[in-house]
Amino acid sequence: MSALRNFGSSLAACRWAMPVLAVSVMLVAVIHQQFGLFNGYVEFVLITAGINIILCASLNLVNGYMGEFSVGHAGFMAVGAYAAGLLAVKVLPGATPVWAFPLVVVFGGLVAAFIGFLLALLSFKTRGDYLAIITLAFLMIVKSAMENIPFTGGPRGLLGIERLTTLPQTAAWVIITLWVIRNLVYSKFGRAITAIREDELAAGAMGVRTREAKILAFVVSSFFGGVAGSLFAHQLQFINPATFDIIKSTDILVMVYIGGVASLTGSVLGAVLVTLLAQVLQPLGTWRAVVMPLTLVFLMLFRPRGLLGLREFTWFLPGRELLGRIKEKLS
Amino acid sequence: MKLPLILASVLSVAVLAGCGKKAADSSSAVRIGLNVELTGELPAVGASSKNAVELHVAQINAAGGITIGGKKVPLELVIGDNGAKADQAAATAQRLLSQENVLVMVGPNASSCAIPASEIAESLKAPMISPWSTNPKTTVNAQTGKSKTYVLRGCFTDLFQAGVLAKFTLTDLKAKRAAVLFDVASEAPNGQANLYKETFEKLGGVISSFETYTTGDRDFSAQLTKIKASNPDVIFLPVYYSDVPLITQQARQLGITAQFVGSDAWSSPEIVKLGGAALESAYFCNHYSTEIATPAAKKFMADYEAKYGHAPDDVAALSYDSVGFMVKAIEAAGVADREAVRVALASIPSYEGVTGAMHFTPGSGDPVKSAVILQIKGGKFVWVANATP
Amino acid sequence: MEYFAQQAINAIQLGSIYALIALGYSLVYGVLSMMNFAHGDVFMVGAFACLLLVSIFPVPFIVALLAVMVITALLGVLIERVAYRPLRNAPKVSAIITALGCGLVIQNTTLSLSPYPRPMPRLFESVPFEFAGVTMNTLQLFIIGVSAGLMVALDFVIRKTDWGIALRATSCDRTTVPLMGVPVNRVISITFAVGGTLAGAAGVLYSQAYPVVGASMGALIGWKAFVAAVIGGIGNVRGAVLGGYILGAVEVATVVALPSTWRDLIAYSLLLVILIFKPHGLLGSPVQQKV
């Protein structure tokens, strides 16, 4: 039947769409690295957008898919940034070779993941508002700890980090992040995470392993938050505790809620939109900082789930999921 | 709905296209970038800097522009705001140097912004001059310890300033015991406090108390009570102008009668507006004084006052000189090319500006300049002494 | 000995300010189960309103204080009407985000209108005096006194007046209360008004003690007051007061013993520890969740 053939072909098209997109993005990034497609400023904005996508997608896992309210994401970013920065500057002798950079980034992510694990343990006893407060406390503690430990450079920050974040590296990490989170969300654990969002007690009563799901969500989320932080540190070449404050966390929240909760496409959209708006609105000066939260307030009043909340671009869905939805439509 | 996605894609494409196009513009004007603190913690500093630079550029353009290779070319100023934040300063530097393609960059002023911006300028091989940043790290490469090639400053360094103030405290104020209170979270105060302590102790003084606070603190009673107990003759406050009023008022309320001494971070006239009686007869170190002005300085002050309605402060004077120095280098280079300008910068031994003479020694981005000691009397800055290196 | 007494006075003064603001957080959380993150900025607007008022009309201090309290009360009600009421039945997350957004809008608008910190004129002539070897001044006593007075008044109102009973009833069970004839919307508006009044008073008092007014005041002090409210048990009026004084004491004690950069670390670590052992704060009671 023609309807089935149509669905079949669109399914086939969708299966190839994402990998093709990923490869072409990497290709553009590598060409730029070799031949300089974009000038320094555009490259800077693109890398910033990439880092924001990673931050947004990882926060969306906890805030969107799991329905918690974590305001401490900038804390994971800080941990990752400092871990990677300190490793590169203070521990490793001499300049960091390019091949070692992904390992440095992974190290930053792992340290952040460990902290995320601790936070997950704390989340067992508390729910809702109190978890939000705990994540806030965690953020402030991380920031304050960085200010007080002389090894990290104290309040004046860490200098002398090399410029290792390039467009291909960032693009690669964006693709990895989106791929991992997508696969996680459409797996057994992903359904557990969504169940927790809908009704944690009922989920527990039904036999869903909520504790494991929470640990997994927090650990994955904080890992990628740390990765984003490591990339950030090696882009700006200078980090200080003041960068990772509640305002930064709020910026990431804005990206998540503008783009859409529980939606990876939404995360990409939100991150890119906010990054571009931040640059485009520069002439407004301080009024820029009024426009952004005002947009957020309007969005909450009229479209509380964000632009693409709970909806996903069909290209993102894994094959099995897509097949299931098509079967639904047909029956 | 497809609509938001379409909207977003259209917006992104438009912006990116716009980004690409800007770089292609190549008018005959010479573009100078200005990276200053227009918003954030130190808006007075940014405003002064911007005013002075705009004044100088307007004056040059009124005379037909700068002379390059025999032709007169207009000067164009591109202004970026760094919000007194390190990451924004780096982003603005990146934007000015890569996107707007300015020839050279003036600013940032605050050391915490100047340092990251200087890293960007150095890596992009673009000449940069910071009018007001006194922290040694701005012109020195953190990893190699050697001077940066492309980065200069228009003022003296904290090392010099600390020496001047320490000597002043011991010889002129005849004070043997000094207490220090500073913002440990900020680059310039940190450098100044530590260097002052080193120099003061080397010259035979005693630091009776070395207290810190963090940016944003309002209540200093704990630290001031400790200082009071240590019985100093002088309290050294190398902190930005916005914190000084609260500290001095609280100190006097606690019954502390010691003499206040400050650094060039005090130099904004806002300090008297905020400060009131507690600041009376305090001393601080500055880059220039309106009283001992040369004819060139007097003219600058008159022009500035005519255009903006108030007298210029040291940031303004230093910014005016920094632009002047850069322009002289560009004219000496003869072409609007960054490398040529860098070579020209190194070849100009001395520049006579409104803040006095600037000599650069080869291989160093720090000029040799004199300082002045000022006292706050009757709500005004009064010149007390000169300090030559 | 005098040194500690002096610091104790500082701690009580700071604690009073935190307590006044924390009360606003607790009252709103009690009736709406929502954290009003814009509250800190109401405090900041109070300080600015006082500055603006006295620069136009040279009124005596008490008049300025009362006028500002009225202004911030209205601001509190306005925020509730515009931003929170439409989201009354939306998921709580939306309300919290809106609160954050509102706070940022207020803060950054003020920052755009007044980028420079401004001096606050001395409205209250503070006279330093010595008592048992401790140097104090009358302003400190005034702040402590006025704060205590306001808190006692609030406690009385909550326990003895009709509105207070309505407030407590709404905190217990917001859905059933309208059935009893209580005008819930009005009660909520009054709650925000009271919270705003206290924050405004705190703003005026604080800006007399530390006479430099800047737009970022709200964020700095507001978050601390929020921590204080949570420590005491958010939703609990006495808890807010207790939390405020505890936090004031902890902050001052930290600065006395350690470098002042440790202040935030100790304060938030204390919060975390208290929440681990008493997840609902010191005086809070666990909320039963019906399945």
Instruction: Give chains near C: 3+ CB pairs under 8 A.
Output: A, B
Considering chain C, what percentage of its residues have pLDDT values greater than 90?
Answer: 37
| Better pLDDT: C10 or C106 | C106
Whether B14 has its CB under 8 Å from any CB of chain A: the answer is no
CA–CA gap between residue B61 and residue B383 (Å, rounded): 34
On chain B, the residues whose CB falls within 8 A of the CB of C110 are: none
Paired with C212 in beta bridges are C119
How close B255 gets to chain C, by Cα (Å)?
A: 8
Whether A242 has its CB under 8 Å from any CB of chain B: the answer is yes
Instruction: Give tens-digit pLDDT for B146-167.
Output: 788 888 888 888 888 888 898 8
- Among the partner-chain residues A130, A257, A300, the one whose CB lies closest to the CB of C279 is A130
For residue A291, what are the CA distances in angstroms to A279, A296, C105? 13, 9, 8
On chain C, the residues whose CB falls within 8 A of the CB of B44 are: 116
On chain C, the residues whose CB falls within 8 A of the CB of B223 are: 255, 260
Interface test with A, best of C82, C105, C278, C290 (most A CBs within 10 A): C105
Given an 8 Å threshold on Cβ–Cβ distance, is C211 in contact with B184?
A: no
Instruction: Give tens-digit pLDDT for B238-286.
Output: 988 878 888 998 888 888 889 999 988 888 777 887 777 888 888 998 8
How close C247 gets to chain A, by Cα (Å)?
A: 14
Buried-state track C40-56, b at ≥16 Cβ within 10 A, e below 16: bbbbbbbbbbbbebbee
Given an 8 Å threshold on Cβ–Cβ distance, is B218 in contact with C7?
A: no
Report the residue of chain A nearest B4, measured CA to CA. Answer: A307
| Secondary structure (H, E, C), chain B | CHHHHHHHHHHHHHHHHHHHHHHHCCCCCEEEEEEECCCCCCHHHHHHHHHHHHHHHHHHHHCCCEEECCEEECEEEEEEECCCCHHHHHHHHHHHHHHCCCCEEECCCCHHHHHHHHHHHHHCCCCEEECCCCCHHHCECCCCCCECCCEEECCCCHHHHHHHHHHHHHHHCCCCEEEEEEECCCHHHHHHHHHHHHHHHHCCCEEEEEEEECCCCCCCHHHHHHHHHCCCCEEEECCCCCCHHHHHHHHHHCCCCCEEEECHHHCCCHHHHHHHHHHCCCEEEECCCCCCCCHHHHHHHHHHHHHHCCCCCHHHHHHHHHHHHHHHHHHHHCCCCHHHHHHHHHHCCEEEECCEEEEECCCCCCEECCEEEEEEECCEEEEEEEECC
How close B249 gets to chain C, by Cα (Å)?
A: 9
On chain C, the residues whose CB falls within 8 A of the CB of B221 are: 6-7, 10
Joined together, the tokens standing for residue A63 give 């805030």
State the average pLDDT over residues A79-98.
84
Interface test with C, best of B82, B184, B186, B221 (most C CBs within 10 A): B221
What pLDDT shows up at residue B7? Answer: 54
What confidence category does residue B384 fall into, taking pLDDT thresholds of 50, 70 and 90? confident
What pLDDT shows up at residue C130? Answer: 80
On chain A, the residues whose CB falls within 8 A of the CB of B98 are: 39-41, 43-44
Given an 8 Å threshold on Cβ–Cβ distance, is B218 in contact with C212?
A: yes
The whole-model pTM stands at 0.84
> Which residues of B, range 194-213, sit inside 8 Å of C by Cβ?
212-213
Given an 8 Å threshold on Cβ–Cβ distance, is C104 in contact with A250?
A: yes
What pLDDT shows up at residue B21? Answer: 40
Q: Residue A207 carries which DSSP code?
A: T
How close C252 gets to chain B, by Cα (Å)?
A: 7
What confidence category does residue A64 fall into, taking pLDDT thresholds of 50, 70 and 90? confident
What pLDDT shows up at residue C49? Answer: 93
Given an 8 Å threshold on Cβ–Cβ distance, is B212 in contact with C261?
A: yes
Given an 8 Å threshold on Cβ–Cβ distance, is A304 in contact with C115?
A: no
- Among the partner-chain residues B12, B97, B184, the one whose CB lies closest to the CB of A276 is B12
On chain A, the residues whose CB falls within 8 A of the CB of B186 are: 155-156
Whether A34 has its CB under 8 Å from any CB of chain B: the answer is no
ipTM over 0.90: no
On chain A, the residues whose CB falls within 8 A of the CB of B110 are: none
CA angle C223-C224-C225, nearest 5°?
90
Instruction: Give chains near B: 3+ CB pairs under 8 A.
Output: A, C
Instruction: Tally B–C CB contacts below 8 A.
Output: 66
What pLDDT shows up at residue B1? Answer: 41
- CB contact at 8 A, A280 and A66: no
- What's at B60, amino acid-wise? I
Interface test with B, best of A32, A37, A41 (most B CBs within 10 A): A41
What pLDDT shows up at residue B332? Answer: 87
CA–CA gap between residue B106 and residue B119 (Å, rounded): 14
What pLDDT shows up at residue A227? Answer: 96
Mean pLDDT score across all residues of chain A? 84
How close B293 gets to chain C, by Cα (Å)?
A: 29
Of A117-126, C51-60, C100-109, the range with the lowest mean pLDDT is A117-126
State the average pLDDT over residues B36-57.
87
State the average pLDDT over residues B335-360.
84
What pLDDT shows up at residue B26? Answer: 45
Given an 8 Å threshold on Cβ–Cβ distance, is A163 in contact with B123?
A: yes
Instruction: Tally A–C CB contacts below 8 A.
Output: 116
What confidence category does residue C248 fall into, taking pLDDT thresholds of 50, 70 and 90? very high
Given an 8 Å threshold on Cβ–Cβ distance, is B225 in contact with C116?
A: no
- Among the partner-chain residues C10, C255, C261, the one whose CB lies closest to the CB of B185 is C261
| Better pLDDT: C11 or C257 | C11
For residue B331, what are the CA distances in angstroms to A91, B67, B71, B72, B165? 46, 6, 10, 10, 37
Interface test with B, best of A143, A236, A315 (most B CBs within 10 A): A236
Mean pLDDT score across all residues of chain B? 83
What pLDDT shows up at residue B24? Answer: 37
Q: Which residues contact A331 (CB under 8 A, 6 or more apart)?
A: none
On chain B, the residues whose CB falls within 8 A of the CB of C5 are: none
On chain B, the residues whose CB falls within 8 A of the CB of C12 are: none
Report the residue of chain A nearest B78, measured CA to CA. Answer: A283
Residue for token pair 């508006």: C189
Report the residue of chain B nearest C253, measured CA to CA. Answer: B222
On chain B, the residues whose CB falls within 8 A of the CB of C1 are: none
